[in-house]
């Protein structure tokens, strides 16, 4: 049976954790992207946030060796393997944290199977009894919003990166 095709929207915190850590669930997911075991989805606003955060002086200072050139190489690599949606016409109002709306909008546009995040607001959205939660379930009835650990636990074999 073929492995399930995972179409992932990665929150910025998961991308950063996956790029800079040597042994973490986020790192396993990011490395699995390279071998095409899962497809990352990106859009202009998401890519702009990735770039802004990864190139922020505080981030560069925290992680020795993380240079602007290395960041750009990683982002070029990501664009090369990603499904990129240049236009996202969907609007999703997310009062709790409007900055997260772009991840939901990308997930809707790109028919994502998962949003992978370390953010508690996004993680609770599928079960939230709020207006945003209801709209989320209507727009994305099948999607799973998971932390990196549970994603690797569930799909480690498919990702080619089972937990040690």
Partner 1 sequence: MGVPPEHYAKRLVEDGLAFQREAEESTFAEIMGPVRQAAGKVDDAEIVKLVDKTRSIHHGSNGRGKMR
Q: Which of 70, 135, 137, 139 binds partner 1 (CB under 8 A)?
A: 70
Looking at the Cβ atoms of 77 and 134, the one nearer to partner 1 is 77
- Tokens, residue 28: 């396993």
Binding-site size, partner 1 (CB under 8 A) = 45
Residue carrying the six token digits 């973490």: 24
Judge contact between 122 and 11, C-beta under 8 A.
Answer: yes
Contacts of 80 (CB under 8 A, 6+ apart): none
Subset of 144-163 contacting partner 1 (CB under 8 A): none
**Residue closest to 7 by CA, chosen among 78, 80, 79, 83:** 83
Q: Which of 119, 122, 123, 152 binds partner 1 (CB under 8 A)?
A: 119
Looking at the Cβ atoms of 5 and 72, the one nearer to partner 1 is 72
Looking at the Cβ atoms of 31 and 84, the one nearer to partner 1 is 31
CA pseudo-torsion sign 147, 152, 154, 158: positive
**Smallest gap from residue 112 Cβ to partner 1 (A):** 20
**Residue closest to 105 by CA, chosen among 123, 119, 87, 117:** 87
**Smallest gap from residue 76 Cβ to partner 1 (A):** 3
Subset of 3-62 contacting partner 1 (CB under 8 A): 12-13, 16-24, 26-27, 30-31, 33-35, 48-49, 52-53, 56, 58-59, 62
Gap between the Cα atoms of 143 and 4, Å rounded = 14
Backbone φ, ψ for residue 44 (5° rounding): -55, -45
Instruction: Give the footprint of partner 1 on this chain (CB under 8 A).
Output: 12-13, 16-24, 26-27, 30-31, 33-35, 48-49, 52-53, 56, 58-59, 62-66, 70, 72-74, 76-77, 80, 95-99, 118-119, 121
């Amino acid at each position: 049976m073929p492995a399930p095709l995972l179409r992932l929207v990665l929150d910025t915190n998961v991308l950063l954790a996956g790029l800079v850590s040597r042994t973490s669930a986020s790192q396993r997911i990011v490395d699995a992207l390279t071998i095409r075991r899962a497809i990352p989805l990106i859009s202009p606003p998401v890519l702009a946030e990735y770039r802004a955060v990864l190139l922020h002086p505080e981030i560069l200072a925290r992680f020795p060796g993380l240079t602007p050139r290395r960041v750009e190489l990683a982002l070029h690599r990501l664009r090369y393997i990603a499904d990129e949606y240049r236009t996202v016409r969907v609007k999703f109002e997310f009062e709790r944290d409007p900055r997260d709306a772009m991840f939901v909008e990308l997930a809707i546009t790109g028919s994502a199977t998962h949003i992978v995040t370390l953010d508690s607001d996004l993680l609770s959205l599928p079960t939230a009894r709020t207006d945003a939660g209801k709209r989320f379930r209507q727009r994305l009835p099948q999607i799973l919003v998971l932390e990196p650990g549970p994603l690797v636990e569930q799909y480690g074999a498919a990702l080619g990166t089972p937990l040690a």
